[in-house]
């Protein structure tokens, strides 16, 4: 690539119109005056392999990968980093000079960075964490919490077998708690994270009684539409430290942007406001 060539990146998904990533990366491209573009790339599942393997020829420096292609991306990269292998999914791809595809997963990084921003000084090693949900987001969160040194991770999910599979596949101090016991398991927790879709716009409410949480507990809802979920409101009313979900999205984007465009981007209030303005009800 010559110096003055426009650097091209994007996000592959199906559908992809809902993705906030073009808005997010577009903000940074403008803020740092970079000669680059970041575009939505709509790819049907049946076309994924061909399009994905053709990224180098199509001139991309790399891509983000979103629903429903994250697992297929892992299967089709030339090399994946440890996080992607443990989580079983790739969300960030770099096209290397020889045209090969390197995949990583930055969701866990985004989760941890968001918590550090929203709950400065939080000590991950201090006590148990309770995780609601056992989908793809939960996999990234659990992996990141193990690496951060959380001594006791309690995973609870409506479909218990899914939580058991996750706990079996990811080595660490993870125990599975029946969904009906989710309130009782909060009584000595330092951290509660909702990774389910409950409480999201157009989804059922999250039913949980957080009365038992200690007064120093931190609550993180990874739902960001709405930003102020009932869980966040209830926790704040109790005086607990709350961390909303948009920051995980913003921070997970940083490593990809840095690798493609060569600038380490910042997560600022202006970026938050800009991306939130694109969140549809
Ligand atoms: P993601 O990959 O984004 O985490 P997902 O794999 O669809 O999304 O996971 C959604 C999570 O929300 C799951 O933990 C799901 O529980 P199940 O594994 O039992 O499906 C949870 N979830 C969705 N709707 C739910 C509901 N009505 N009650 C309880 N949990 C629900």
User: Using one digit for the tens of pLDDT, what is the confidence trace for 62-86?
Assistant: 999 999 999 999 999 999 999 999 9
Nearest to 45 by CA among 67, 17, 21, 75: 67
Q: Which residue among 197, 203, 225 is best mutated to probe the pocket of ligand 1, counting the most ligand atoms within 8 A of its Cβ?
A: 197
Quick one: what percent of the chain has pLDDT higher than 90? 98
**Whole-number pLDDT of residue 281:** 64
- Catalytic annotation, pick one of 3, 8, 44, 70: 70
Examine the residue annotation and report whether 8 is marked as an active-site residue of this protein.
no
- C-alpha of residue 169 to centroid of ligand 1, in Å: 18
What does the pLDDT look like over 143-161, one tens digit per residue? 999 999 999 999 999 999 9
User: Is the beta carbon of 66 within 6 A of some atom in ligand 1?
Assistant: no
Token pair 């290397």 in the structure block, residue: 96
Question: Could you give all domains of the chain from N- to C-terminal order, each with its CATH number?
Answer: 7-106+253-276 (3.40.50.10860), 108-247 (3.40.50.720)
Nearest to 214 by CA among 175, 241, 233: 241
Statement: residue 1 has pLDDT above 90: no
Which atom, in ligand 1's list, is nearest to the CA of 136? 2
Query: Which runs of E-coded beta strand occur in 31-150?
Result: 36-42, 60-65, 79-80, 92-95, 101-104, 129-132
Residue 202 has pLDDT above 60, yes or no: yes
List pLDDT tens digits, range 27-67. Answer: 999 999 999 999 999 999 999 999 999 999 999 999 999 99
- The percent helix, strand, coil of the chain (3-state, each to 5) is 40, 20, 40
Quick: pLDDT tens for 253-271.
999 999 999 999 999 999 9
- For atom 2 of ligand 1, the residue with the nearest CA is 136
Report the run of H or E that residue 117 belongs to, with start and end.
helix 107-118
Query: Is 38 exposed, middle or buried (CB count within 10 Å of its CB: 0-12, 13-18, 19+)?
Result: buried
Q: What is the pLDDT of residues 113-128, one digit of tens each?
A: 999 999 999 999 999 9
């Amino acid at each position: 690539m010559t110096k003055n060539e426009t650097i091209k990146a994007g996000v592959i998904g199906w559908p992809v119109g809902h993705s906030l990533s073009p808005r997010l990366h577009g903000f940074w491209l403008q803020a740092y005056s970079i000669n680059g573009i970041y575009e939505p790339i709509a790819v049907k599942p049946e076309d994924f392999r061909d399009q994905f393997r053709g990224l180098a020829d199509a001139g991309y420096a790399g891509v983000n990968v979103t629903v429903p292609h994250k697992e297929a991306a892992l299967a089709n990269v030339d090399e994946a980093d440890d996080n992607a292998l443990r989580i079983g999914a790739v969300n960030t791809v770099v096209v290397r000079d020889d045209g090969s595809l390197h995949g990583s997963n930055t969701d866990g990084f985004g989760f941890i960075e968001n918590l550090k921003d929203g709950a400065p000084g939080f000590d991950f090693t201090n006590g148990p964490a309770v995780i609601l949900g056992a989908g793809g987001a939960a996999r990234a969160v659990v992996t990141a919490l193990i690496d951060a040194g959380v001594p006791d991770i309690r995973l609870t999910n409506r479909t218990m077998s899914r939580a058991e599979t996750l706990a079996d596949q990811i080595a660490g101090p993870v125990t599975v708690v029946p969904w009906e016991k989710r309130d009782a398991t909060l009584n000595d927790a330092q951290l509660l994270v909702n990774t389910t879709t409950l409480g999201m716009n157009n989804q059922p409410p999250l039913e949980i009684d957080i009365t038992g949480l200690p007064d120093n507990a931190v609550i993180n809802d990874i739902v960001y539409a709405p930003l102020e979920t009932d869980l966040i409101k209830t926790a704040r009313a109790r005086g607990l430290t709350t961390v909303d979900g948009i920051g995980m999205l913003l921070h997970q984007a940083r490593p990809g942007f840095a690798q493609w465009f060569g600038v380490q981007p910042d997560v600022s209030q202006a970026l938050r406001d800009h991306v939130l303005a694109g969140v549809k009800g």
